[in-house]
Amino acid sequence: MKISNDDRHFLIWFKSYYLLIMGSSFFIYLLITVLYFTIGVKDLSKSDYLGVISFIFFWNGFFMIFFGSIIFNSITSGFKKNNIEQIKKYINTLPRFSFFLLFFIGFTYCSIITISGMKAEAESYKSILRILDFTLSIVYSYIIIPVYFTAIFLDNLMIKVKEKIFILKGIVFEPSKKKFINELLVAFIIISLYPIITIILSIVSNNLLQTIININPYLVSYFIIIIIGIFFIVLFKAYSFSLPVKNLISFVNLIKNGTFSARLPVTIDNELGTLIANINSMAMGLEERERIKDIFGKMVDPVIRDHLLNGNIKLGGTLTEGTILFSDIRDFTTISETMAPEKVVELLNRYFDIMSQSISENSGLVNKYIGDAIMAIFGVLNESDEQADHAILSAIQMQKTLKKLNTLFVNEGLPEIKNGIGIHKGKVLAGNIGSATRMEFTVIGDTVNVASRIEGLTKLYASGIVVSQDVLSGIVNPQQFNYRFLMKVRVKGRKTPVLLYEILDGLEEHDKNIKIATKSLFEEAVTLYYNRRIAEALSIFNQLLKQLPDDKIVVHYAKRCAEHSGVIIPDQWDGIENG
């Protein structure tokens, strides 16, 4: 895979900046060496002097080019493969490699310089304190200063690198576990404590301590007090900064986990205090946004809410496959006339709550409440091959939970509720319908109209759940349902009739078992009816009435057969009902 121009420019910039920083650290080595051998060690031979300088140039260049190229090749390979983990791994490895390289080279320098210096001025280094003083000075010059200042420069470089990688690739690096208080203490040791200790050793090793005491007997005490004072000032200042940072991290984690009501007191008067105040304001905004989102989710289905909040708010629609469910309370007008208005509202709310739960638990979306009716959609925003299965499962669950709800209603002196459910599957136009100032997300089309007509037929024939042939054809797992063919219906506006089936699984167990047992006989009688063999069909329907006296569809067919029995049936008669 070829690397993009943006990535190539970034890598060139990265390598150049890195080489500049590492080259600067090597220049520090060289400068310290020159100063040391021209001022500190005056009796070193020219060959030794040139040998040390040559060592610096050779090994610096070798290690930097050899090991640096390995890491940068791995980073470049990660960009070519678009391997995010590889990029992150080697970007994070680069600073550690650089510190190790500088430490190794510095340690080697220390060894060479210490041996060379003591060899050149052997008489001066007979004292253990003098050797310790000299060694600590060399370690500070060749290890601590180059490594520490390179670390500072590399930290700044890594900030810019990670910003650019985020812009290019969207890669977010995980934060390290470093603590600010530790970094401040390291800075204190390097900048203050270590040099002071070295100076004290130099004074003692050169027999200057007594001279200083004679000049000012309290000077040593002052010196010790200053060191201790600086240490505790740094320690307490670091703590006063790190404590609000810890609280801020805990606060941000609460917000990340959705606790937008959390607030953090502003306890410091600097940039960190301003940051805390701004994050508090952000949390207030998020809390308000969540409250509005929660209210919005109660006005429309949460899935529709999230769809709209994602920016899908333009007027217009998309043609898609959907399964539409309509449910309606039977004789609701009669029920509401016998109840106080507030009781009607309470009853409806409890009914809608449990029905909506059954729909959402089966991947459906409540699109709207129309009086006492519910319109739900399946497979529109949450596309699924099992949308027909989900719609039927939802209807079955609605019927079963309604039985439990009715038990509560009866115990509370409220009337029982019965509902009918119609389901149809087909193409729908889904989108935002309305005006520029007021709109709603809904589905429209012939499929919606047919589903509504099917639900209306459940009232005529007292069927709980009625679905079309299109729904049954879309079922992925038909073996999980029990159903029987009902009739053919001619829906207004459609040339071809709609074939309707009754789902039996939502019925009382006794009624379900009888209808399953008589299914074959019932469907045989219906077939005879549509084949104009009226007398044979009537005989079977009369037989079925003995087992199913309250089955309105059997009563309907028996009545129709009786009307056509013994009369001449017109040629154009097809037995199809108008729905």
Q: 483-490 and 577-578: which strand pairing?
A: parallel
Does residue 82 carry a pLDDT above 90? no
Residue 436's pLDDT band (cuts 50, 70, 90): low
H helices present in 43-83, as ranges = 46-81
Residues 467, 499: Cα–Cα separation, whole Å: 8
Which residues are registered as beta bridge partners of 369?
Answer: 374
Residues 365, 371: Cα–Cα separation, whole Å: 17
Residues 397, 376: Cα–Cα separation, whole Å: 14
- Considering only 132-146, 365-379, 441-455, which range has the smallest mean pLDDT? 132-146
Let me know if residue 561 belongs to a domain: yes
Chain mean position to CA 184: 36
Residues 502, 495: Cα–Cα separation, whole Å: 23
469 and 397 within one domain: yes
Chosen domain end from 481, 515, 539: 481
Residue 387 is part of a domain; what is its CATH number? 3.30.70.1230
560 and 519 within one domain: yes
Q: 419-434 and 439-444: which strand pairing?
A: antiparallel
pLDDT above 90 coverage of the chain, percent: 24
How confident is the model at residue 374, as a pLDDT? Answer: 93
Residues in the chain, overall count: 579
579 and 433 within one domain: no
Residues 259, 255: Cα–Cα separation, whole Å: 5
135 and 3 within one domain: yes
Residues 430, 439: Cα–Cα separation, whole Å: 13
Let me know if residue 539 belongs to a domain: yes
Does residue 208 carry a pLDDT above 60? no
Mean pLDDT of 432-439: 66
Let me know if residue 228 belongs to a domain: no
Residue-wise pLDDT for 386-416, tens only, equals: 999 999 999 999 999 999 999 999 998 888 9
Give how many domains the chain has, as a whole number. 3
125 and 58 within one domain: yes
- Considering only 116-120, 227-231, 257-261, which range has the smallest mean pLDDT? 116-120
Q: Which residues have CB under 8 Å from 270's CB, separation 6+?
A: none
Does residue 52 carry a pLDDT above 70? no
Residue-wise pLDDT for 525-538, tens only, equals: 999 999 989 999 99
How confident is the model at residue 264, as a pLDDT? Answer: 76
Mean pLDDT of 261-267: 75
Nearest to 493 by CA among 531, 446, 452, 433: 446
Mean pLDDT of 561-578: 82
551 and 426 within one domain: no
Let me know if residue 250 belongs to a domain: no
Residue-wise pLDDT for 274-317, tens only, equals: 777 888 888 887 777 677 666 555 556 666 666 655 655 455 57
Q: Which residues have CB under 8 Å from 486's CB, separation 6+?
A: 461, 463, 466, 500, 501, 502, 526, 553
How confident is the model at residue 70, as a pLDDT? Answer: 77
Q: Is 499 left (phi over 0), alpha (psi -120 to 50) or beta?
A: beta
How confident is the model at residue 324, as a pLDDT? Answer: 95
Let me know if residue 30 belongs to a domain: yes
- The answer to whether the beta carbons of residues 577 and 488 sit under 8 Å apart is yes
431 and 578 within one domain: no
How confident is the model at residue 447, as a pLDDT? Answer: 92
540 and 466 within one domain: no
522 and 445 within one domain: no
How confident is the model at residue 125, as a pLDDT? Answer: 46
Chosen domain end from 143, 176, 209: 176
Mean pLDDT of 33-48: 58
CB neighbours of residue 47 within 10 Å = 8
269 φ, ψ (degrees, to nearest 5)? -105, 60
526 and 468 within one domain: no
Residues 152, 156: Cα–Cα separation, whole Å: 6
| Cα-based torsion angle of the residue sequence 38, 39, 42, 45 in order, rounded to the nearest 10 degrees | -20
| DSSP single-letter state for residue 416 | P
Which tokens in the block code for residue 401? 């939970």
Does residue 470 carry a pLDDT above 80? yes
Does residue 463 carry a pLDDT above 70? yes
How confident is the model at residue 120, as a pLDDT? Answer: 47
Q: Treating both helix axes as pointing N-terminal to C-terminal, what angle do 145-169 and 84-120 enclose, rounded to 10 degrees? A: 170
Domain that holds residue 381: 314-481
Which tokens in the block code for residue 293? 């989102």
Residue-wise pLDDT for 437-459, tens only, equals: 666 778 888 999 999 999 988 88
Residue-wise pLDDT for 479-522, tens only, equals: 899 999 999 998 877 788 999 999 999 888 888 999 999 999 99
Residues 500, 489: Cα–Cα separation, whole Å: 7
72 and 126 within one domain: yes
Let me know if residue 158 belongs to a domain: yes
pTM metric for this prediction:
0.56
pLDDT top residue among 385 and 116 = 385
Which tokens in the block code for residue 179? 């603590």
Let me know if residue 212 belongs to a domain: no
Gyration radius (Cα) of the chain, Å: 43
- Considering only 369-378, 459-468, 549-558, 565-574, which range has the smallest mean pLDDT? 565-574
pLDDT top residue among 378 and 237 = 378
pLDDT top residue among 35 and 354 = 354
Mean pLDDT of 59-79: 74
Strands (DSSP E) found in 255-405: 316-329, 364-370, 373-378
Residues 92, 110: Cα–Cα separation, whole Å: 28
Mean pLDDT of 121-134: 56
Q: Is 143 left (phi over 0), alpha (psi -120 to 50) or beta?
A: alpha
pLDDT top residue among 83 and 288 = 83
CB neighbours of residue 386 within 10 Å = 18
457 and 332 within one domain: yes
Mean pLDDT of 339-359: 90
How confident is the model at residue 80, as a pLDDT? Answer: 81
Which tokens in the block code for residue 427? 């193409």
Does residue 361 carry a pLDDT above 80? yes
Residue 325's pLDDT band (cuts 50, 70, 90): very high
* Average pLDDT, rounded, for the chain: 78
Chosen domain end from 176, 193, 228: 176
Which tokens in the block code for residue 126? 């007979």
Does residue 229 carry a pLDDT above 60? yes
Which tokens in the block code for residue 46? 């020219």
- Considering only 121-130, 218-227, 389-398, which range has the smallest mean pLDDT? 121-130
Let me know if residue 403 belongs to a domain: yes
